[in-house]
Amino acid sequence: MFLAFRDGGEELPSFVGDGRFEVILEVLGRRYDNSHMGASSFATELRIRHLMPGRPSELDKKKELEGMTVVKFMEVAGKLLKNIAVLAFFHGNTNVDDVKKCGHMLVCLLKGKKGNSRGGGGGLPIKSMPVDRIAKLEAGKVGHILVSSKNECDKNTAVEHYYQIGSDNIDDLVLTALLVQLIDEPFFDNVRTKEQFGYSVSCSERWTGGIIGFVLRIVSSVKTAEQCSLRIDTFLDR
């Protein structure tokens, strides 16, 4: 159905009801306004945005909606969908013949009923696909980001300590997963169960833009950001 937007034009496809475009604009704007209102979600978003400086914030996205019209939307949608490519992964109860049939169906949909490309859909070579860029943290250097919550009524404080390991490779992936398994239980048991330091205490591996790392996180309604950060350092220094 979304391929109906590919030809552009000045009007929405017939299946879009009257007034629906304006309603969706309002809903999307509210979603951007209300995103990451929780302390934990906001802390994660800040970490990712500082690691990936080119990543737009919800405020940036909200600004792009200003002055949006059907004509402008159809113009941009048409340009985007002319360069569409599909990377498909088939898993489960299937066989090679079914996969080939499905792949053929996708190609036919992209090329159109008459077999022409309708302005695109031939696929993109791997080297033409966008590449995520992530900041390389300096070894041994400690940086802090301290930001007030978006929700003034939220009494929770969320702290994440992120440790960057390096480029994606199977050895480091497995060793990082093992490290997290070794740390997670004693971290939770000491900080959450015994000390009641925070109501959410966890350790997890992270894969950001092809870079391996791991995070120790505390979310607390009774401790400050400085206290949570110090508690993580104290745990790691044991």
Mean pLDDT of 46-59: 88
Least confident of 21-35, 146-160, 211-225: 146-160
**C-alpha to C-alpha distance for 218 and 159, rounded to whole angstroms:** 5
What's the pLDDT score for residue 77? Answer: 87
Query: What is residue 8's predicted lDDT score, i.e. its pLDDT?
Result: 74
The answer to whether the beta carbons of residues 5 and 81 sit under 8 Å apart is yes
pLDDT at residue 82 is higher than 80: no
Q: Where do the domains of the chain lie?
A: 2-128, 157-236
The identity of residue 41, as a single letter, is S
CB-based burial of residue 217 (10 Å sphere; 0-12 exposed, 13-18 middle, 19+ buried)?
buried
**Residue of higher predicted confidence among 159 and 127:** 159
pLDDT digits (tens, 9 = 90+) for 97-141: 999 898 888 888 777 654 444 444 455 555 666 677 889 998 888
Q: Does pTM surpass 0.85? A: no
The whole-number pLDDT of residue 154 equals 83
Instruction: Quote the pLDDT of residue 128.
Output: 63
Q: What are the distances in angstroms from CA 211 to CA 109, 136, 157, 170, 234?
A: 35, 9, 27, 12, 26
Q: What is the pLDDT of residue 118?
A: 47
Computed over every residue of the chain, the mean pLDDT equals 86
Give the model confidence (pLDDT) of 27-51 as tens digits: 999 999 988 888 888 899 999 989 9
Residue 117 has a pLDDT of 45
Which is more confident, 54 or 43?
43
Rounded Cα distance, 11 and 70, in Å: 7
